[in-house]
Structure 1
Amino acid sequence: MSNHLKFDIYNLDLTNIQNDSHLRFFLLGMSSRAVILVEDIDCSFKLKNWDLPEDQTQTQGDHSGKVTLSGLLNFVDGFYSCCGEGRIMIFTTNYKERLDPALLRPGRMDMHICLSYCNASVFDQLAFNYLGLHHHHLFDEIKQLIEVIEVTPAELGGS
């Protein structure tokens, strides 16, 4: 995607960001045409403040030296995020339900794409993309196995 658009790509590891100010500094320092990838956002830090009562949320800046939910939300769609020609942010997670609903709302995360396990049609596409094959005598057997076991496209492609 970044090659096609001629955008720079940044892999942002939130565990290496010291606080909200550092996150903002990172955003301002990147190029204006960028793809920002945040992998496993559910594991990066606590996006819900489970220690506070339910009526208190982490909406005010945290001065304890940690990135806060508020800081991340401002990074995604705050004042500083609009600087530049265009930025695409990609977040990955294995547990969408662990993310705060404020992070998932439209305008922050406009597209939610589930990359699930393979089925027969995904297998057909992978076989064509990787091997240039439309048919093979083992395809029917493989497709029957795919219906029984859960295998990801990455696992299948690496086999």
Structure 2
Amino acid sequence: MNEGSSWHGITHHHSSTFDTLAMDPVLKQSIVDDLDRFLGRRDYYRRIGKAWKCGYLLYGPPGTGKSSLIAAMANYLRFNLYDLDLLEVR
């Protein structure tokens, strides 16, 4: 898969946070609570031998805030984001 190519990191700062996100406050708090629960279970996953990961499936037309939500989540968790152009994957 993509022999000869390599990953290159870039610094990307997205200003989206949960404070700036236009979203139903109850749903927003539910997501924050889920992220906090995820962070708190790292040692548990290590103890049981499972991968420490969390996934969300977002769908909708362009411009509905999917990317802003992901950026807010990454900023909240202080995680890096990776943008994979699937047209480049062979």
Between the two structures, name the one with larger relative contact order (CA 8 Å, sep ≥ 6): 2
For the criterion TM > 0.5, the same-fold answer is: no
User: Who wins on radius of gyration, i.e. which is larger?
Assistant: 1
TM-score bracket for the superposition, by shorter chain length: 0.3 to 0.5
What is the TM-score with the length of structure 1 in the denominator?
A: 0.23
Q: Per residue, is there more strand in 1 or in 2? A: 1
